[in-house]
Structure 1
Amino acid sequence: MNPLTREVMPMSFRLRPPWREGKPSIKTSMTVQFSCLFIGCFLIVGLLVYQGVVKVIQEIATDYILVTIKQENEKVDKIIAKAESSASTVLSNNEMQNMLNQVYSGQVLKLPDRDLISHLIYNAVNQEPYVIAAQVYSPRFGYYGFNNSYLQQSDIRQLTLQHPEKLAHIDDRMIWIEVKTGVGDNVYPFIFGIRTIPNFITDTPLGYFMVVLDKKQIENDLIHIDIGQGGSMFIVNEDGLAIVSSDEAMEMETKRYLADNFKDRNDVSGHFIHSVNGVHSLVTYNKLHRTNWTSVVILPVSSLTKGMDYVNYLLILTGCATILLVFITARLLSARITKPISNIQRNMKRVEQGNLQVNLPVTHTLEINDLSQSFNHMVGKLNILINQVYEGELRRREAELKALQANIHPHFLYNTLDSLYWMLIIRGQEEVAKVVVSLSHLFRYSIGGKGQTVPLRSELEHIRNYLQIQQIRFEDLEVECIWDETIGNVTILKLLLQPLVENAIYHGLEKKSGNRKLTIATKAIDQGLVLITIRDNGAGIRPEQLALIRSMMRMADHFQILEERLGMGIENVHRRIKLFYGEAYGMDISSEPGEGTEITIRIPLHGRMESSEAK
């Protein structure tokens, strides 16, 4: 077949509908994405609404509980205040003061006087239903008053021994303590109040006044308070111990929780959410005014949200209806959007079958219209591109044929240099023969091999051959090689160092007369880097020019300026390092006018070649 004859080939590309490969169509993808978007928004809004309702319910419950606590605190404060007021009234009575001072001075009271003291005490506190005992006491005259409790005189003496730190600071203000008496199942709890009896004649107290409150009645009041299902109310002292509780079967974990969280608590009122006995609970508290006690209510959060079942049902029902509506809307919307795309897809199928006369009509949608015009333009270019590709392939084949015909086999050059070497040896020109050998090695290294990387020792050996040739021209050129043999197998780009050595000679040492020195050093450092230094003692670079070079080395668009000052080598080497190793590696240049120039190359210490490859 004539090579210039065009062979019309069938179209090599195929446009397959994505669903044939197990992928969803655009319509399906849009339906799913729209549905997920709307459903996600609905779920987020629904969750926020639900959390807001729960928060509002908790705030309402907290306010209600706090009001209830304050009301109960006011009631307890009134009981204590009345008891303290009654005590003050009876102790300030003139007859009571006279009779107690008589006893205090050593006189013996007659039986009517004793009955009068008890009568005065009884009349003062008998109107209080919570007070079941009230007595005056002194080691000089014993006990006077009335006692309707199970608390005996021995219990009171034992109480004074159990609370010495509290009784040591008793004054005319009453101190309240929880006490118990009895054994086993017959244990009776009381709230015991005690204060000193003031002496209106002298400053020495006449004794103590004691009041006993019925703890059971106060607990019954707490039990009948409506604080929510599963809730409990406690009155705790400054040590966090429950004095009064609406929960008769209070668990040990609850006692421990109260002791841990309300011991020496200073804030007057507050609330928080805690886990009590493994139950997520709302804890609300408020301090009493007359004592250092705190009323605490523990209410499970689940009881607050118990009425949310209807709200949850309504949210679920609304959500299902919304999901169905969103799915139908998204399906219809996606079908309308994808209809023009389906039309384009059908016409592309015709192009796939070889019909290049397809022309899409103009639509009213801007994006689809642009896509149709682009498609028509593409189809119009296909015939032109097919011709261009065919003609380009013919030209490429002709160029390859010409290159093969013009190619000189490298072995012809190597054999010629080898013959020249032996002719020079026979004629005794050994110095020139060495130059020929070095030149032969240069050609072999430059032309031979297909890879772009070589071992570091091979690159350094190539530089040695190059410098041997240069030393014929510059007889006073001193070359110092400080090479670390342990990194000889490190991979380096081929012909990376020769351009820099050439720059050092032609731009530095060539301008210097006598005492020319070139140092090439390699070493590895701890940061995982290999440093290759090329240093000359040539003319150097002026400071302002050096600053310009350093700034331009960081700007890839200005290599032509560097080229004018340092030659083609600097452009080639810097670009190759950045492209091959990355932006973290490259070159550093330092120079002093009249002292010389030093270039340091930084490459990574990795990619060691196997010994066979190094050879």
Structure 2
Amino acid sequence: MLTNLFNSRSSVQRKIVLSFLCFILFPLSLFSYASLSISKQTIRERAISGSLARLGLIADKLNIMASDLSSISTLYFSNSSLTDLLKTPSGIGGYEESTKRSFFVKTMINYKYAYTWLDYNTSIFGINGFELHTLYEGKKIGIHSVESEPWYNDVLAANGNIVWVTNPSSKLKSTVDDDYYVSAIRELKDFESGEMLGLVFISVGESFLYDQYRDRLQRDEQALLVDQDGIILSAPDKNQIGRSFHDYVQGNTSLSADSGNFTARLSGQDMLMTYNSVGKTGWKIISYTPIQSLYADITKLERLTLVILILIVAVSIIVSYFIARRLSVPIQRLARSMKIVEMGDLSERSAIDRRDEIGELARKFNSMVARIERLRDRVRVEEEMKRKTEIRALQSQINTHFLYNTLASIRSMLMIDKPEKVDSVIVALVKLLKRTLSEEGEYIPVAEEVDNLSNYVKIQQARQADHLRVLFNIDEQIVHEKMLKFLLQPIVENAIFHGIEPKLEPGTILIRGYRSEDGAIIFQIQDDGVGFKNRAFGEKDADVTETVLGESSGKGLRNIRDRLLLHYGKDAGMRIISRRSGGMEVVLHLPAADRSEETP
């Protein structure tokens, strides 16, 4: 069956239908990709939702911790006994001070037992030198030792409100039972005067903070706590505490929203990170889960799907290639044949031999090209015959016109000149006619055309005597160039008979030849004869080409123009100018081209 499907008799339509069947691969791949993408997205959304819920619970617990620590600081802030101790100058009333201190120590113990779930330490520093710690009993540290810390002015600016500071000072490390800690710092004031009495530090160790979220995370999920400045204050890896979170994690780590998620790299792994805010402290609790772990099941499914797709692709490529080759190769061959024909080679024929639609198209193409080739050959023959007939007709007109005018000149000389002079003119005429009417090609060198013109001028000067002067100014660079013969003589003849002869005084004809900048050959034939009969004195040079060619006396010039168009095409031209200074000027423009020899 497969052989019948691909034999030369099967239609292109059937092959195309079979090719489209191979595109089942595309929807199958699209479906597999969409399914895996949707599954990944669903897993990601569920992971984010669950993580945010867990982080919300952790944040609530940390907010409760912050509220309790704030309440404890308020108890100290409003304790009258503490106020008295901080207002009393140090060293005055030692017994009374000792009694108050003892009483206050008991109060601190009572406060600590009131919040048994909290593991915190308290430090109080007075301006008067009073100092008391729940843990530390060593040498006095003194409030002046922390006045240079960057957070000190923030505490004063808070005007009695709590400022949360991570690891406030290395000098206070001995007052807590942890290597890393965070303190709720508050200014103590005199209620009556508003003066600062000291500072109270309620400090919580990193170990206590870590315990608040450690057991609430899922498998493969970890978390860390950062302060309002993005500094890590609690993490599984204790070496990262105190480091900037944005330096620790690679990628877009913006924490500007209250909660959110993003993907970043941590320890060389892509991580799904979610975060939530601890509103009372400005901290962020951030959880992170390896993407690889998150998509572990999907990865297995992806590999299985990929293997299946690779097998389908391999089979589809083989089948598609075979089908495409059967379809496209003949079409490509036919297209190449069309391109060759388009370039002008009508001998090209398509070698496709099939019995389907492509074969039929090739046969129609060959038939069409054969007909076009026959028509082209016939048109070429007809055009060549027409061109030669027109050229010979024009040449015949020119030769007849020239011969008539020359014989008329000789007739006039017979009446007024000696026989010897007439004989020399007749000899010159014979030479000129022999060269002009020869069976040579239509194109001759410029030098030969000028030589022919010189013979003609001699004939006319013999008749005109001193009444005619002819000057030649031909550039040596063009004397070997080929040009259409018998172009200049009719123009000079026209200048003599219609310009110089009607003039009473002697006249001059100037013949110039040169090459223009675009490579064309230019001939200028100027005379100072009577000029154009309708010329108004004082006007500038005027182009009278169409006017002159339209007159009955312009037959010779019309023949020259027609010969130019036949031989050189539309780029050639002839202009007839009525000169302001008197006389006429004819300008011939022979375009730069291959002036190869032609046969008549």
Residue identity matched to 2:540 = K
- 2:124 is aligned with 1:136: yes
Does the 8 Å contact 1:424/1:430 carry over to 2? Answer: no
Residues 256-299 of structure 1: CA deviation (Å, up to 9, x unaligned): 61599999975433333344565444444333211233333454
Displacement of 1:79 after TM fit? 1.1
Distance in 2 (alpha carbons) for counterparts of 1:471 and 1:280: 102
Match of 2:284 among 286, 290, 294: 294
Task: Report the counterpart of residue 447 of structure 1 in structure 2.
Answer: 484
Residues 404-441 of structure 1: CA deviation (Å, up to 9, x unaligned): 99976447994754431222344455886749999xx9
Distance in 2 (alpha carbons) for counterparts of 1:203 and 1:86: 21
Task: Report the counterpart of residue 285 of structure 1 in structure 2.
Answer: 275
Task: Report the counterpart of residue 50 of structure 2 in structure 1.
Answer: 64
Match of 2:226 among 225, 228, 236: 236
Residue identity matched to 1:75 = K
Residue identity matched to 1:257 = D
Displacement of 1:84 after TM fit? 0.8
Residue identity matched to 1:247 = D
Distance in 2 (alpha carbons) for counterparts of 1:218 and 1:388: 99
SS in 2 for 1:515: coil
Match of 1:121 among 95, 108, 112: 108
Does the 8 Å contact 1:87/1:124 carry over to 2? Answer: no
Does the 8 Å contact 2:227/2:284 carry over to 1? Answer: yes
Match of 2:205 among 207, 210, 214: 214
Distance in 2 (alpha carbons) for counterparts of 1:105 and 1:237: 40
Does the 8 Å contact 2:264/2:272 carry over to 1? Answer: yes
Residues 430-465 of structure 1: CA deviation (Å, up to 9, x unaligned): 886749999xx99x87527xxxxxxxxxxxxx99x9
Distance in 1 (alpha carbons) for counterparts of 2:116 and 2:497: 127
Displacement of 1:214 after TM fit? 1.9
Residues 404/87 of structure 1: CA separation in 2 closer, same or farther (3 Å cut): closer
SS in 1 for 2:124: strand
Displacement of 1:312 after TM fit? 0.6
Residue identity matched to 2:164 = W
Match of 2:457 among 418, 421, 424: 421
Match of 1:316 among 306, 313, 323: 306
Match of 2:68 among 72, 78, 82: 82
Q: Which runs of 5+ in 2 are unaligned?
A: 1-5, 332-352, 394-438, 504-513, 526-531, 546-560, 572-591, 594-600
Displacement of 1:82 after TM fit? 0.4
Does the 8 Å contact 1:136/1:207 carry over to 2? Answer: yes
Displacement of 1:211 after TM fit? 1.1
SS in 1 for 2:65: helix
* Counterparts of residues 29-428 of structure 1 (less than 5 Å): 34=20, 39=25, 42-43=28-29, 46-47=32-33, 49-93=35-79, 109-126=96-113, 127-140=115-128, 142-144=130-132, 146-148=133-135, 153-154=140-141, 158-163=145-150, 164-179=152-167, 180=170, 188-226=179-217, 229=220, 232-250=222-240, 257=247, 266-276=256-266, 279-320=269-310, 322-323=312-313, 368=357, 409-410=441-442, 414=449, 417-427=453-463
Displacement of 1:85 after TM fit? 0.9
Match of 2:538 among 500, 511, 515: 515
Displacement of 1:83 after TM fit? 0.8
SS in 2 for 1:168: helix
Does the 8 Å contact 1:271/1:284 carry over to 2? Answer: yes
Aligned length: 445
Residues 355-382 of structure 1: CA deviation (Å, up to 9, x unaligned): xxx998xxxxxx94x9859958987x99
SS in 1 for 2:207: helix
Q: Which runs of 5+ in 1 are unaligned?
A: 1-18, 20-24, 342-357, 361-366, 449-461, 477-484, 503-508, 519-535, 540-566, 578-607, 610-615
Distance in 2 (alpha carbons) for counterparts of 1:80 and 1:359: 89
Residue identity matched to 1:120 = T
Of 322-331 and 299-308, more deviation after overlay is shown by 322-331
Does the 8 Å contact 2:86/2:130 carry over to 1? Answer: no
Task: Report the counterpart of residue 580 of structure 2 in structure 1.
Answer: none
Distance in 1 (alpha carbons) for counterparts of 2:267 and 2:66: 32
Distance in 2 (alpha carbons) for counterparts of 1:275 and 1:289: 27
Residues 504-555 of structure 1: CA deviation (Å, up to 9, x unaligned): xxxxx9976233434xxxxxxxxxxxxxxxxx6999xxxxxxxxxxxxxxxx
Residues 337/173 of structure 1: CA separation in 2 closer, same or farther (3 Å cut): same
Residues 549-578 of structure 1: CA deviation (Å, up to 9, x unaligned): xxxxxxxxxxxxxxxxxx99xx99xx978x
Distance in 1 (alpha carbons) for counterparts of 2:248 and 2:464: 111
Residue identity matched to 2:484 = I
SS in 1 for 2:59: helix
Does the 8 Å contact 2:88/2:128 carry over to 1? Answer: no
Distance in 2 (alpha carbons) for counterparts of 1:374 and 1:275: 62
Residues 383/104 of structure 1: CA separation in 2 closer, same or farther (3 Å cut): closer
Displacement of 1:335 after TM fit? 12
Residues 171/335 of structure 1: CA separation in 2 closer, same or farther (3 Å cut): closer
Residue identity matched to 1:125 = K
Task: Report the counterpart of residue 363 of structure 1 in structure 2.
Answer: none
Distance in 2 (alpha carbons) for counterparts of 1:263 and 1:160: 34
Distance in 2 (alpha carbons) for counterparts of 1:120 and 1:306: 56
Task: Report the counterpart of residue 336 of structure 2 in structure 1.
Answer: none
Residue identity matched to 1:117 = F
Distance in 1 (alpha carbons) for counterparts of 2:138 and 2:203: 9
Distance in 2 (alpha carbons) for counterparts of 1:26 and 1:264: 60
Does the 8 Å contact 1:132/1:149 carry over to 2? Answer: no
Residues 332-372 of structure 1: CA deviation (Å, up to 9, x unaligned): 9889999xx9xxxxxxxxxxxxxxxx998xxxxxx94x985
SS in 2 for 1:86: helix
Distance in 2 (alpha carbons) for counterparts of 1:200 and 1:470: 129
Does the 8 Å contact 1:121/1:135 carry over to 2? Answer: no
SS in 2 for 1:148: coil
Residues 298-317 of structure 1: CA deviation (Å, up to 9, x unaligned): 54433433332222134224
Does the 8 Å contact 2:160/2:187 carry over to 1? Answer: yes
Displacement of 1:385 after TM fit? 9.0
User: CA-atom RMSD, angstroms?
Assistant: 6.3
Residue identity matched to 1:447 = L
* Structure whose alpha-carbon radius of gyration is higher: 2
Residues 393/113 of structure 1: CA separation in 2 closer, same or farther (3 Å cut): closer
Residue identity matched to 1:268 = D
Residues 95-141 of structure 1: CA deviation (Å, up to 9, x unaligned): 65566667799765354432221222221233244433224332336
Residues 216-255 of structure 1: CA deviation (Å, up to 9, x unaligned): 12124444443663x6533223433222222224399975
Q: Normalization by structure 2: what TM-score?
A: 0.54
Distance in 1 (alpha carbons) for counterparts of 2:301 and 2:255: 38
SS in 2 for 1:517: coil
Distance in 1 (alpha carbons) for counterparts of 2:219 and 2:533: 101
Distance in 2 (alpha carbons) for counterparts of 1:445 and 1:435: 22
Residues 511/393 of structure 1: CA separation in 2 closer, same or farther (3 Å cut): closer
